[in-house]
Every structure is written in C-alpha cells, then in structure tokens.
C-alpha cells in the first residue's frame, strides 16, 4: 500500500483535481484519462484529502464529480503501485487486506458524507469501483453512452466498496443481486429506469446538464440544503456501516483466495476462468 500518513500529492501524481468556481461549485475531476481513470490506493488517499478540504470550505455549496476522457472510471488499475498486499501467512495477508479496505472505506465515507450535495456526471465506462464511486454521489447524471457493471464475482472477489449495498438501497435487493451476481453490464437507459440515475442526456450535453443542476442547488439556502441531505442519508443509510464492515471482511477473504488468483490470471490471459471454491 501507499503511505497513508502522507498528506501531500506529488506533482504529476494527481488522480483527482479540485477546482472551485465563483458560483460555489467544487469540481472534482478524475484526471487519468490515459488509464481510463482506473482506481488505486493512491486515488482513495487523494479522495480523502480532498473531501477533508471540501468539508470545511464554506464557499463550496455543491460538489460536482466528473472525469476526463472517454470513461468515467473503468475500475481498479491493477498496474498501480501497491496494488497487491502481501503477508507472511494467508491469515496475515487477509488481515492486511481487511484493514486496508476498512481504511479505504473511511476515505469513501468522508466523501459520501460531505455536508454538501454531490452530483456525479458519468460518461463511457463506469465499471467496478467506478460504478461504486458514482453510487456514493447524491444525484447521478449520465451521458447516453454510459455503461455500468459490477464484474467482481467474475474474477473471484466480493464487491468491496458497498456498490451492491447502495444498489439495493436505491433500486432494490433484486437488482443488486442480479447485477452483482452476474456482472452484467447495463446501459444508461436501464440504469435510469431502475432508479440508479436521475437524468440521462446526450454525450455532448453532459457537462451543461450537470453544471446546471449544480447551479440550481447552489442557489438554495446552504444550511437548508445540508440539513435535507443529512436527514435523507440518516434514513436511507440505516445499517450501511455494519454492512460495509461485512463487505470489507468478505472482500479480504476473497481477495486472498485461490479463485481470485485464477480470476485475475484468466482475465490477463483473456480466457474463461475455472473456479473451484478455494
């Protein structure tokens, strides 16, 4: 893993960029388009740092999460440094994964629980963790070319950041199980129909539509807006913390399994995996 105590971001190593507009919109941009904005431990660290900065910035009334390039986020960047966690024994390696995932969950919670509403503007591939990140936003707007999936079970691991739980919250347990158990991809129209998106627009209109929505919310009374978000989240997320801890443990166990090793090897070799439950 990376140094979790480091509060700096080295020049040229930015995974997420923050810009604040004069109208009070904090724009978080995933800025690794050459990697399809693939996610890493370092991305999680930077998200947490920026969430802490936004939390106490009274000039920011709304947060807009967007991405550069043809994908919002295509999932985990398996080539990123620190991607694999080692241990002297299977038990130690599982423990380290569990603590690492719990640490990442704390960064995600800082983002998801921002006092300001968060709008996600999604285009292109929104897969695996990318889908989970978008689901952490309060409102989601997508281009009509967006594609969503949770492919984790197809490579032998559990969904680790709560995406399946948030789908169950927003679309129902049946849809959560269908998408997480099959890894099936859905288009923007389907995601809107089942309640995972609030608006779908043509690709060329995504920035304008998301920006207009952010401006509409930013024009309202900040204390009232933050109070409404907090009240709805308290109701909607009841039991989420306990479920996320269970997800972290399930992810740690599956990430250290023989099935996960086979799943990643098969994906790299572009062949069907052979799982045997070990």
Q: Please identify every residue annotated as catalytic.
A: 132, 152
Other C-beta atoms closer than 10 Å to the C-beta of 271 total 9
151 CB-contact burial (10 Å; exposed 0-12 / middle 13-18 / buried 19+):
buried
Specify the residue for token string 């724009």: 27
Alpha helices in 140-221 (DSSP H): 163-171, 173-182, 188-193, 206-218
Distances (CA, A) of 230 to 25, 63, 117, 140, 236: 19, 15, 9, 18, 10
CA torsion sign for 223, 224, 229, 235 is positive
Distances (CA, A) of 7 to 2, 77, 102, 153: 11, 22, 19, 34
Please tell me whether residue 251 adopts helix, strand or coil conformation: helix
Distances (CA, A) of 213 to 93, 139, 209: 44, 9, 6
Q: Cα(17)–Cα(66) distance, rounded to whole angstroms?
A: 10
């Amino acid at each position: 893993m990376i140094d979790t105590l480091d509060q700096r971001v080295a020049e040229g190593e930015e995974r997420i960029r923050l810009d604040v507009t004069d109208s009070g919109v904090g724009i978080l941009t995933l800025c690794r388009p050459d990697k399809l904005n693939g996610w890493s431990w370092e991305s999680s660290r930077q998200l947490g740092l920026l969430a802490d900065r936004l939390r106490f910035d009274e000039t920011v009334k709304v947060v807009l999460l967007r991405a550069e390039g043809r994908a919002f986020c295509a999932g985990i960047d398996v080539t990123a440094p620190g991607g694999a966690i080692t241990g002297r024994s299977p038990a130690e390696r599982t423990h380290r994964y569990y603590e690492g995932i719990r640490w990442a969950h704390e960064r995600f919670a800082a983002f998801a629980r921002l006092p300001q509403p968060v709008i996600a503007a999604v285009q292109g591939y929104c897969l695996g963790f990318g889908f989970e990140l978008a689901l952490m936003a309060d409102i989601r707007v997508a281009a009509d070319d967006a594609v969503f999936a949770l492919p984790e079970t197809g490579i032998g691991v559990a969904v680790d950041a709560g995406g399946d739980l948030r789908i169950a919250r927003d679309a129902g347990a049946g849809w959560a199980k269908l998408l997480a158990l099959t890894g099936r991809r859905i288009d923007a129209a389907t995601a809107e129909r089942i309640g995972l998106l609030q608006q779908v627009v043509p690709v060329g209109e995504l920035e304008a539509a998301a920006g207009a929505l952010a401006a509409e919310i930013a024009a309202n009374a900040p204390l009232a807006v933050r109070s409404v978000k907090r009240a709805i989240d308290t109701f909607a997320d009841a039991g989420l913390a306990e479920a996320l801890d269970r997800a972290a443990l399930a992810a740690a166990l599956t990430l250290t399994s023989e099935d996960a090793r086979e799943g990643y090897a098969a994906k790299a070799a572009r062949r069907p995996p052979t799982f045997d439950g070990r």
